[in-house]
Chain A
Amino acid sequence: MSTDTATPEAASTADRPPSPAPARAPKRRSWLGLWFVLPFVAVYAVFMIWPMLLGLYYSFTDKSLTGRPVEWIGLENWIEAFGDPAAMDSLWNTAWFTILSTPPLVVLGLAFALLAHRARRLGWFLRLSFFAPFVIPVSVVTMVWLWMYQPAGGLFNHYLGEWGLGGDHLWAFQQDAMGSVVVTTVWWTLGFNFLLYLAALQTIPAEVYEAADIDGANSLQKLWSITLPLLKRTTALVIVLQLIASLRIFDQYYLMAGGASNLATENVFIQYIYNSGFVGFRIGYASALSYILFACIIVIALIQFRLLSRRED
């Protein structure tokens, strides 16, 4: 709707004959610039700013999906949220997922990038293989992995059994849904961190290593005292981006461990928000929960913002 009105605005500026005054003097203030910005700002206001304000307002009300009159209830939702064991459990599950998934995604991302950087002739193949999973839709990823995790006929249990690992070798899914989701997530999203590291490695000038070669440093010494220190800032960025991504865990957990397959009774936080709002119809309460997540992510995002803006100097 908003773009229905916004696009014609853009079109009408297009039709207007260019007014020579602002064109000649680009630095002079005029309202013209607003017309360029307005179409985006209109969509932004309707689908970002307005929902943010609305959500904050709802969090202080008993707003319900059933549409009954809204009543202001002050801090009740917030107090309930922090005392709600199911909410706190799901928040902990999200935190646990973040704790479990971040280290392998960062460390393996770096390790794969170091390998790919040295095995340059395989570059195309390695980038394809490590990054391709990242562009695959989440439900395809979970379908394939659930199939591999199957107790009967799944690849994992077959080979775990063949190699004599783990009792009835059901580790793969039934026993540890979270572990399975983490493994799947590592496979799915590692490519992004891999590429970030690879790009950073490629900007390290060769001369840096030549000096070390003259001093007779071996590969391990070079890695430890040249490469890793030079990757410090990239690592900071990768970690921060990974934390933000992991805290947003919903899709793969919902598809693998919740929702239809329902193999785990536990939720992650966004799932709990979703359930409170759309199953429990409690929009007000779900809005308060949303703002708790929002606060967690914004803290990390602020760190990211600082990292990025320091880079500009």
Chain B
Amino acid sequence: MTAVQTRPEASERAPRAVKRRSRIRVTPGSALVYFAAFVLALLWLVPLLWALSTSFKPETEASLGQPIHWLPQEWSLEGYRTLFERGDHVTWMINSTVVSTIVTVLTLALCVLAAYGFSRLDFPGKKIVYGVVLAGIMVPSQALIIPLFDVVSALRMVDTYWGLALPQVVAPVMIFILKRFFDAIPRDYEEAARIDGAGHLRVLWSVILPLSGPILAAVGIFTFIGAWNNFLWPLLVANDPSIMTLPVGLGVVAGGYGLLYAQNMASAVLGALPLLIVFLIFQKQIVKGVAGVGLK
């Protein structure tokens, strides 16, 4: 109950409040807890570590498999070299970067504008439009792929960046999140700017947005991760390997490489790396963002 009724602003502060009281008495119980947590966390990392280790084995050692060696008997970059020689991995990486960036920038721009409109302006039909947008939160995108493909191909966007990106820009939940945040910003801040004759775009740009840093970061990061990892839609709309995103390229084309495990694991490691780096950099915002889902 308490967990649930916390206001969004309060929840931002909660994790810090917890850290303050970190007095730990070493008891057998707490030692056991620490031990269990540590072992579990290590176990959870095994698949990634195993992939990493395999990627540095020479192909012969990796494919043979037996006996299991946790570290390469002989360190080799063979897997990575053949990967880069073929080059398609780099293409997919670029495609994913382009598509995810388009999706993120457009989502932020369109959703911020719309959320401001819903939060601060009154216009005819606003309630109906907002209701229709909110209802979209419940629509599972997977159930739309068939007609959506029809629409996108009618627009001649199959095998294009726009065809990959635009359908992913439709994120009503982001409007909901941003509007709630904007609603919570006291109007007094804007009054001064308004009296100086600033229009709504100016107010949005120089009053609202500077106060919305964390929420914009969260929306941006989650949109980027979502777009990067999207699989079903790019699978449908990118048939040409040169326009495929990383998950689709790895899943569809690289799946056909066969039993070249060092190379496979090298491409897995390189495929995981970009978002792992994003995660490491933005860990705080991501954790807070997920937490927000439960607290809101």
Instruction: Tell me the A residues contacting B by CB distance below 8 Å.
Output: 1-3, 6-7, 10, 13-14, 16-20, 22-24, 26-37, 39-41, 43-44, 46-52, 54-55, 58, 112, 115-116, 118-122, 124-133, 135-140, 142-145, 147-148, 150, 152-155, 158, 187, 192, 195-206, 208, 219, 230-234, 237-238, 241, 244, 247-248, 250-251, 255, 259-261, 270, 273-274, 277-278, 283, 286-287, 290-291, 293-294, 297-298, 301-302, 304-305, 308, 311
Main SS of the interface on chain A? Answer: helix
Produce 1/0 per residue, B72-97, CB < 8 A to A. 00000000000000000000000000
A219 to chain B, nearest CB (A): 7
- B162-186 CB contacts (< 8 Å) to partner A: 162, 166-167, 169-170, 172, 175
Q: Is the CB of A195 within 8 A of B287?
A: yes
Produce 1/0 per residue, B243-283, CB < 8 A to A. 00011101110111000010011011001100110111001
Q: Is the CB of A128 within 8 A of B146?
A: no
Of B11, B22, B42, B68, which contacts A155 at CB under 8 A? B68
**Chain B contacts for A116, CB-based, 8 A:** 37
Q: Is the CB of B199 within 8 A of A19?
A: yes
**Chain A contacts for B47, CB-based, 8 A:** 133, 144-145, 148, 187
B113 to chain A, nearest CB (A): 5
A155 and B133 alpha carbons, distance in the complex (Å): 47
Of B110, B194, B232, B293, which contacts A196 at CB under 8 A? B293
A160 and B247 alpha carbons, distance in the complex (Å): 30
Known pairs A147-B261, A231-B3 / 7 extra A-B pairs, C-beta < 8 Å: A26-B190, A33-B118, A122-B41, A144-B48, A144-B50, A205-B2, A290-B147
Residues A147 and B246 in contact in the complex (CB < 8 Å), given A44-B170, A55-B146, A196-B290: no
**Chain B contacts for A255, CB-based, 8 A:** 251, 255
A290 and B66 alpha carbons, distance in the complex (Å): 45
Q: Is the CB of A244 within 8 A of B133?
A: no
What are the nearest 7 A-B pairs in CB distance?
A: A153-B65, A18-B199, A36-B117, A33-B121, A199-B291, A33-B123, A139-B251
